[in-house]
Amino acid sequence: MLVSGRHFFPDVAPRSLGHKALAVNLSDLAAMGAEPRAFTLALALPDAQAAWLSELAAGMLELADAHGCELIGGDTTRGPLTLSLTVFGDVPVHKALRRDAARPGDDIWISGTLGDARLALGDFRGEWLLPEPDFSQVRPRMDTPTPRIALGMALRGVAHAALDISDGLVGDLGHILERSQVGALLDVDALPRSTVLASQPEARQLECTLAGGDDYELCFTAPVGERDRIAAIGARLGLAVTRVGAITPEAGLRLVDREGNPSAYHGTSFDHFASP
């Protein structure tokens, strides 16, 4: 469910909104290694404007067509602008990527880069001001994220546990640790980031990569012996995959720098009920 003023700005371009509404749901399928099949859309609108709806549909259906995902039903009503989608996919028996399957000794991997969506959001909120062309380079990560469907499917039988990073790495990785009853050692200096984010102050880099959210990259764990295979998958897909830490038998998430020293970062991820 995406709610105006909560998950997107009220004046967002409708084509971008249509794309994002479906993309964030497809990302959940990617995190399980599932192949998309269909989706439903329930839409509340303060008023029905044909041109706006046409653009919303264009953004949504372009992404749907790219993944062979059919719109098969839904509902509409008058109300505050809200989009609620349910996506359907399938995965071979016993091949689904789960949150409860991480094992001590597993590597922790991240696809793509983290933090650009949060960096763009900070500019929108007036927390900082990004010069051009920096802002234009990071804004698409917030407006039109890419669901990593192909990567999720390729990780079947390779990764142990996985999820998509929607609310921030610290909180989302914490779900894997809790469900798998393990801990993790995370190298904050190894976290992949764009050149734009890498040019920002260190504290801002940590905030964006660790707790930013809206990245929709995959975080997954896999045995050490799968490193070459994972690198080959990334190369085949043209997608960077970065090793950022390891699963430990001791509970809790420990953040360290490249020298192994404890990180000074103490922030938290997005909370749908506690966050403003």
Residue 57's nearest CA partner among 18, 87, 86 is: 18
- On whether 7 is known to bind a ligand per the annotation, the reply is yes
Residue 214 labelled as part of a binding site: yes
Does the annotation place 9 within a ligand binding site? no
74 is in an annotated binding site: yes
What is the per-residue burial (b if ≥16 Cβ within 10 Å, else e) of 66-99? Answer: ebebeeeeeeeeeeebbbbbebebebeeeebbbb
- 270 annotated as belonging to a binding site for a ligand: yes
Confirm or deny that 167 is annotated as ligand binding. Answer: yes
75 is in an annotated binding site: yes
Does residue 272 have a known ligand-binding role? no
DSSP states of the chain as a string? -EEBTTTB-TT--HHHHHHHHHHHHHHHHHHHTPEEEEEEEEEEESS--HHHHHHHHHHHHHHHHHTT-EEEEEEEEESSSEEEEEEEEE--TT---BSS---TT-EEEEES--SHHHHHHHHHHTSS-PPTTHHHHHHHHHHS----HHHHHHTTTT-SEEEE-SS-HHHHHHHHHHHHT-EEEEEGGGS---HHHHTS-HHHHHHHHHH------EEEEE-GGGHHHHHHHHHHHT--EEEEEEEESSSEEEEE-TTSPBP--------TTT--
- Residues placed in the known binding site for Mg(2+): 28, 75, 164, 167
Cite the annotated binding site for substrate by residue number. 7, 214, 270
Binding-site residue numbers are 7, 28, 74-75, 99, 164, 166-167, 214, 270
Residues annotated in a binding site for ATP: 74-75, 99, 166
